[in-house]
Amino acid sequence: MNRRIFYISAVATLTMGITAALTYPAVAGQRAESVNDAATAAGVSPQVFEALARDLKLDTAGVSVRLANEAKANKSDLKLRKSLGKSYAGAWLSADAKTFTIAVTGEAQAEQVRAAGATPRLVKHSLQQLDAVKAKLDANSAKAPKAVPGWYVDVTTNTVVVLARAGADTAGFLKQIGADISAIRIEVSTENPVPLIDVIGGNAYYIGGSRCSVGFPVTIGFVSAGHCGTTGSTTTQPSGTFGGSSFPGNDYSYVRTASGNTPRPLVNRYSGSTTVSVAGSTDAAIGASVCRSGSTTGWHCGTIGARNASVTYSQGTVSGLIRTNVCAEPGDSGGSLIAGNQAQGVTSGGSGNCTSGGTTYFQPVNEILQAYGLTLMTSGTTPPSSPPPTSGCTGYEFTRSGTLSSGGVAYQPDNSYYTSTVSGTHRGCLRGPSGTDYDLYLQKWSGSAWVDVAEGATSSNAETLTYSGTAGNYRFQVHAYSGSGAYTMGFSNP
């Protein structure tokens, strides 16, 4: 019997972030050659290195040590996250980046963390459990009091933090939706976040009388914030048209630029017209240093405080953001957040300013790329010249292929999902480039969220999975756990 795939609009994923702004005087007295040598050794541009020294108030040696510790932490997390499995409860760097902690729910896993040279912390809730608590809050965001500006997973306290201004009936809201109170911490907040858009002249792009900031160039234009413009709206300087936009719920968009505008893999550092290069979009660890570029306040740096946060603007709730302590102001909306040379996100909104400090939220860039099937412009790399691997995934009804950067995620079929009207067996097969670690997950829509129901998540580039399931909506998630390049997959469904 012939079967076909039913395509429906893709459902957005969740991730969050906050940022509090800190501004320090520039660090003086550093010799240019010393900074250049240290930056080269650390694998970042001198411009990024200097900005980190300025905003984190560190000397050359301090920045070098911090970046080395961050690189070591990322490798440890990459290695342990998978092997710890459901016991994994998140990881973070200390404020001075000298201690890297990995939270786990069992003593056996704590020993594994110690053996890897990291500091373990025994906690009650796994990251999977905390994400589930936050997912329930997201699903009921319309019921939240207006005085509750958002929430996020705080792995450092093993809780989901719910922000509440004075007078908010937070307890009533949590009871109404049946939230797991044992995993929630209510935090008094003065935040009153608004999308960072303003009518001010500057180095940016314009939508009628409004101004926003370019996020990251992609092969057909650039990505930015969703609240900057609706699908079909036109832009100037550069000229183009919004090819897609989502806000609230998400806060992302992309602009398809007109002929004559050339996207380049660069971010404006706002100092002597210098730029920094973008080499990829691997997610940085919580606690890692990041810098932001925007057309109102220029270039500012800080650290990531959390991921997987939600914030409620007057227009509605946005989920899946990055929380950091990098400042921003109106007009910076859509601007770039970068860790070293890795793209992280685009500026959404927040509270405060770059004089007194505040909180800023960033929409992760990988979600934007995945939502619209866009390709990030990067420097120092070229697209794979060889076709996707095809061996080993034969005998399946459907095939798909694509290309991912390390840490990237894609959803198949075609950034959407398929519907099975009867019960039966779902089979999937994935082949990534040689020497990489690509994983495959089968997800089913529960009515409020996508839930993993089967996985192929070994340390190789070849994965298969089989799942016997009831009728419903399903999709495959392809994850480039480590390594980059083209992949191919095959799948069959009831």
Task: Give the three-class secondary structure for 20.
Answer: strand
Q: Which of 258, 215, 218 is nearest to 234 (CA)?
A: 258
Cα Rg of the chain, angstroms:
22
Pick the catalytic residue from 138, 154, 251, 439.
251
The Cα 308–Cα 316 span in angstroms is: 17
Establish whether 479 is a catalytic residue.
Answer: no
Integer Cα distance of 368 and 175 in angstroms? 34
Catalytic hit among 76, 213, 295, 333: 333
Element (H, E) at 63: helix 60-84
Q: Residue 130 has which token pair? A: 């905390």
Cα–Cα nearest to 299, from 45, 18, 15, 43: 45
Number of Cα atoms under 13 Å in the Cβ half of residue 190: 4
In order, the DSSP letters of 413-430 are: TTTS-EEESS-EEEEEEE
Q: What is the dihedral of CA 216, 220, 225, 226, to 10 degrees?
A: -160
CA angle, 226 as apex, 222 and 228 as ends, to 5°?
85
Query: Could you tell me whether strands 316-324 and 357-364 are parallel, antiparallel, or unpaired per DSSP bridges?
Result: antiparallel
CB-facing half-sphere around the CA of 211: CA atoms within 13 A: 15
| H-assigned helices in 361-435 | 365-372
Adjacent-strand bridge partners of 488: 401, 431
Q: Cα 469 to the chain's mean position, in Å?
A: 30
In this structure, the number of other CB atoms found within 10 A of the CB of residue 13 comes to 18
* Residue in 227, 300, 426, 479 annotated catalytic: 227
The amino acid that residue 479 corresponds to is: H
SS3 267: strand
Q: CB under 8 Å to 32, separation ≥6 — which residues?
A: 46
Q: What are phi and psi of 304, to 5 degrees?
A: -80, 130
- DSSP string computed for 116-147: TTPEEEE-SS-HHHHHHHHHHHHHTGGGS-TT
Cα 226 to Cα 313: distance, rounded to the nearest angstrom: 13
- Residues in the chain, overall count: 494
- Which residue from 426, 485, 478, 433 is spatially nearest to 460, judged by alpha carbons? 433
Q: Are 317 and 309 in contact (CB under 8 A)?
A: no
Whether 333 is catalytic = yes
Q: Give the angle subtended at the CA of 52 by the CAs of 369 and 290, to the nearest 5°.
A: 25
User: What residues act catalytically?
Assistant: 227, 251, 333
